[in-house]
Structure 1
């Protein structure tokens, strides 16, 4: 999922919240939370026959590939696992092999076979899964309790509930999803990834990439699912779900331009609508969530846009990196995975209220520093509907542990995507992975911890119970319109327009309250290579004033590799006293968005009201 945090849609931004301050209630008080770990299949080796469990075994590392959502009943959780060690056919247990979708009991009970697990995809006949794609990521339940969206497939048990004994391999079908991108309807269709199911069960949202002029661009879409039992064009020529009424979640209207150039001036358009990486829908389905271009420099946040009106809300504002998000069915709560508390991003994002100017070229690199390879620094947080504000940054879901090895808040266990609320909003499921080599051990100065899980397993599936809550009644969902008024209807054969481009030159941005910023943009061919800014008493709030310079140059030797030369000498005074400085020879970062391995020369550090934040060491 986090392969490419691509923000070089130059201008994906942000708007002010659609609420006035008078409309926003005080933050909620912390609530009691109890956390349990769900059972997973036992660990076995890759040797054939090494698994002695009749209901399958998983790999020690990457055995739990991804946690999914609750089923509508709230008593079962979907998970994607990698089975191993199965005996050879004709042993019935031979079906427990490879990448599969299972259900896990979340109430302590067992299925009729005596196991807390049930494999949904194991042993499904080939005739019932023609055209099935390999991707089974982000498994999500339909509200009918009979279907699962997994990757670019829909797993369907027909008239039977997934949890019932009647839902057998012989009654299960796996249908691929196809998006037609050819004028004549031919071929395999377009690439779709990171699919999210709209709560009306009729639509999905997804991301897709295009390559243009040596750059990788990401766009977000919505589309209606339509079962095609007997296709006559396109591949696969097998029963499938076609995407119809597809909309691109952007257009070329001025309303979608966040940095507006008027001759020699730049203005930040705080009413702009742009959707970068699509992250999901709200519980009512009225909003789409997404990663947007920073509202403050180097600060990566999540936004929500109303699919009917185009009103945008900034959901998070903490300087740390936020990405996975789920909004509860009643729209009152959100669960996020965030690096807040780890100080991972504070060295570059800790200075607040800096306008997002250098981010025109630096956002891909700055967002990529959130991980160290496969090691993430995420922990789950609970926020109310209105999100971050003032000193409220939510409640860490797993804060109650003692931090010891294997505890619920052991910092070596990092949150993965996606957290998911139960439909009644009383529980949250999330999954974690233990840091392993090469993110620790060997040449890495951080030692690798020993797993305390059964069989040394390095992934675990967790459920948080909000014990003081009463179940929220499930309500009907208004279907998503097939027309997104502020989007663009997709026509097969077309490619969305390239990111907006600001020509090289010198521009001025005036502070809303005081001062100005002189912005110099340098082109190299058809790309912006350098953005340099000089601030003079710049202030948007009249409380904190910014002076100094920042100069960033970014080169892309390959589509995914970013080489950054960064020079900062910034000072804030007033309500906040802060500095952001590089070493005299600058800060030089080389980072590939495929691997996210931190590799830098020189230093970049930020001091806020006397607290110093420094960059991570290389490889950590």
Structure 2
């Protein structure tokens, strides 16, 4: 592995593992995309606005603009789980009053309906208060367990007491249990804040992420834990039946070699390093964790896989841009990825490839935040095989078969939002989209605001992609994996999070594997807790003997708060050889202010990249 592993990726060959042969790129396959039905839209959120005329079945209405999230499939492959925001319900004691607020529903995907005539069924509406003590909102990332009775939603597990699509699953049979992560040595308190939860395919373990605020800026670590039902907690809050996260492992080990290390006066790039920035889930058989990791090429944010037992790292995506949400098919052979590729949103910063990730010590926050324009994401769903991006293969856009007209499946004003999901039989993919709305359009921004063509003028829709040439796949259930992740660090409640390594301030040389070198100057902040600036000068630098980098770049980070900063870049880089190009700033430099909690693009000066005759300019400021 090491440098030779990196070179293979740079010349367009993404290694699966050191022992795997890279397969031929697959041919495009037929895909049919349709929109799934949702409850009708209420004209307002006033009590009683959801009238019998709007919904004759008296089973609720949803808000026009609130986020409706799709999740994965029930094991019958004919239902998906989703969360919606009900509104306009009549006041209590009207029986329809239960259809109010964020709720978990299931949606039929085969065109049939439930006995009451609805294509959807609310699971959590009307659950008695005694059955949901101390639960939190049911809004985020719904994921059904393979038993078809339980769903992870938000930081809770909903247990229907029976198969969710059956008549035996009723509000009275349903319980909602909170999930608790103990973070105190004495076991007291409400536990730590967790986010981006993902069920492991063994249905026993859970992956999650947690922010850390102790350093100069916000950091995040991924974790792996066992779910343990605790019917009668003796310590910690809440003292109600709950699921505890036990045998927790932090998916980071400060004793392992970092991605960029210092060896005397030289810098060393280690592309075998495990760098879980944000855990995104697991492969279908559960043998690998999927994550957003440290860049292998400057400003190019990619997805990686690491063996839970082996620690072997492989790169999944390499197209310039930003990839984040992902789901892996049950047989491990296919990925569905949400990516900015095809939109050119980030290309002004990352289109010129083969640049080592040196200034990324400073620019990574900016590079990972420019994917959004406020709440608008520039994601579309892409189908990739296991080996991922390589050569000229960058996958197949799942919703490409449309005319691009308003409301069509490939209308660019509808952008994919969060996790896409494979059906268990691998013949369908569910994902959801949001329409571009103010302030990401309109006003002084020249982008016109579209008019929703969705029922009721909804600004969210749930889509289903049928892979029509595929035959259903049926595999054996995944056996429970070990609690131990040998390359991770066992979490001790109350222990502080480690500081991530960075090369100390000083001047270094990075040698090209084929030719040339880079002179690198690193300067730390005054407290020596982070890198503040990186200045690089390239001299005929090449790792592959095909592409050569020359020129200079200087990046400095000015912190405003733990989440808000200004990235200052001065660049004049050229690429020669197979892919000629240039990355350059205006004489006064490029100065991007970005708060990671809002993602509003605000820049002074310009940063432009040209590659093979194509020019990519930065997006307009958020207005």
TM-score interval for Structure 1 and Structure 2 normalised by the shorter chain: over 0.9
Q: In the alignment, what sits opposite 2:50? A: 51
8 Å contact 2:215–2:499 — kept in the other structure? Answer: no
Q: In the alignment, what sits opposite 1:30? A: 28
Q: In the alignment, what sits opposite 1:425? A: 426
Any stretches of 5+ residues in structure 2 without a counterpart?
1-8
Q: In the alignment, what sits opposite 1:435? A: 436
Q: In the alignment, what sits opposite 2:506? A: 505
Q: Which moved more, 1:608-617 or 1:64-73?
A: 64-73
8 Å contact 2:415–2:434 — kept in the other structure? Answer: yes
Q: Output the CA distance in 1 between the equivalents of 2:159 and 2:547.
A: 56
8 Å contact 2:362–2:567 — kept in the other structure? Answer: no
1:307, distance to aligned residue in structure 2 (A):
0.4
Q: Could you say what secondary structure the match of 1:23 adopts? A: coil
Q: Deviations over 1:514-563 (max 9, x none)?
A: 00000001122222211000000000101111100000001111111120
2:399 pairs with 1:409:
no
8 Å contact 2:202–2:481 — kept in the other structure? Answer: yes
Q: In the alignment, what sits opposite 1:225? A: 227
User: What is the correspondence of 1:380-395 to structure 2 with a 5 Å cutoff?
Assistant: 380-395=381-396
8 Å contact 1:515–1:537 — kept in the other structure? Answer: yes
Q: In the alignment, what sits opposite 2:5? A: none
Q: In the alignment, what sits opposite 2:447? A: 446
User: What is the correspondence of 1:219-298 to structure 2 with a 5 Å cutoff?
Assistant: 219-255=221-257, 257-298=258-299
Q: Output the CA distance in 2 between the equivalents of 1:232 and 1:68.
A: 34
8 Å contact 1:518–1:534 — kept in the other structure? Answer: yes
2:148 pairs with 1:145:
yes
Q: In the alignment, what sits opposite 2:128? A: 125
- Which of residues 104, 107, 113 is equivalent to 1:104? 107
Q: Deviations over 1:472-508 (max 9, x none)?
A: 0131202121100100111111122111132111010
8 Å contact 1:112–1:165 — kept in the other structure? Answer: no
1:171, distance to aligned residue in structure 2 (A):
0.4
Q: In the alignment, what sits opposite 1:61? A: 65
User: What is the correspondence of 1:319-358 to structure 2 with a 5 Å cutoff?
Assistant: 319-358=320-359
8 Å contact 1:136–1:152 — kept in the other structure? Answer: no
1:609, distance to aligned residue in structure 2 (A):
1.2
Query: Residues 395 and 21 (structure 1 numbering): CA distance in 2 closer, same or farther, change over 3 Å?
Result: farther
Q: Output the CA distance in 2 between the equivalents of 1:177 and 1:576.
A: 50
Q: In the alignment, what sits opposite 1:11? A: none
User: What is the correspondence of 1:167-178 to structure 2 with a 5 Å cutoff?
Assistant: 167-178=169-180
1:214, distance to aligned residue in structure 2 (A):
3.5
Under a length normalisation based on structure 2, what TM-score does the superposition of the two structures give? 0.95
1:151, distance to aligned residue in structure 2 (A):
1.3
RMSD: 1.3
1:260, distance to aligned residue in structure 2 (A):
1.6
8 Å contact 1:68–1:418 — kept in the other structure? Answer: yes
Query: Residues 18 and 260 (structure 1 numbering): CA distance in 2 closer, same or farther, change over 3 Å?
Result: farther
Q: Deviations over 1:57-83 (max 9, x none)?
A: 011111x43111111111111111010
Q: Output the CA distance in 2 between the equivalents of 1:21 and 1:468.
A: 30
Query: Residues 418 and 349 (structure 1 numbering): CA distance in 2 closer, same or farther, change over 3 Å?
Result: same
8 Å contact 1:17–1:312 — kept in the other structure? Answer: no
Q: Output the CA distance in 2 between the equivalents of 1:519 and 1:608.
A: 24
Q: Could you say what secondary structure the match of 1:425 adopts? A: coil
1:86, distance to aligned residue in structure 2 (A):
0.2
Q: In the alignment, what sits opposite 1:587? A: 590
Under a length normalisation based on structure 1, what TM-score does the superposition of the two structures give? 0.96
8 Å contact 2:83–2:138 — kept in the other structure? Answer: no
Q: Could you say what secondary structure the match of 2:300 adopts? A: coil
User: What is the correspondence of 1:538-617 to structure 2 with a 5 Å cutoff?
Assistant: 538-617=541-620
1:89, distance to aligned residue in structure 2 (A):
1.1
8 Å contact 1:186–1:233 — kept in the other structure? Answer: yes
Q: Output the CA distance in 2 between the equivalents of 1:201 and 1:599.
A: 43
Q: Deviations over 1:361-383 (max 9, x none)?
A: 11011111101001111100000
Q: Deviations over 1:410-430 (max 9, x none)?
A: 000001111000000000000
1:399, distance to aligned residue in structure 2 (A):
0.3
Q: Output the CA distance in 2 between the equivalents of 1:22 and 1:173.
A: 45
Q: Output the CA distance in 1 between the equivalents of 2:137 and 2:34.
A: 31
Q: Output the CA distance in 1 between the equivalents of 2:597 and 2:39.
A: 30
Q: Output the CA distance in 2 between the equivalents of 1:269 and 1:77.
A: 41
Q: Output the CA distance in 1 between the equivalents of 2:20 and 2:131.
A: 56
Q: Deviations over 1:431-480 (max 9, x none)?
A: 00000000001232211000011111111111000010000013120212
Q: Output the CA distance in 2 between the equivalents of 1:453 and 1:508.
A: 56
Q: Deviations over 1:556-582 (max 9, x none)?
A: 111111201100000111112110000
1:134, distance to aligned residue in structure 2 (A):
2.3
2:467 pairs with 1:466:
yes
2:158 pairs with 1:155:
yes
Q: Which moved more, 1:232-241 or 1:441-450?
A: 441-450
Q: Output the CA distance in 2 between the equivalents of 1:150 and 1:119.
A: 14
Q: Could you say what secondary structure the match of 2:49 adopts? A: coil
Q: Output the CA distance in 1 between the equivalents of 2:469 and 2:463.
A: 19
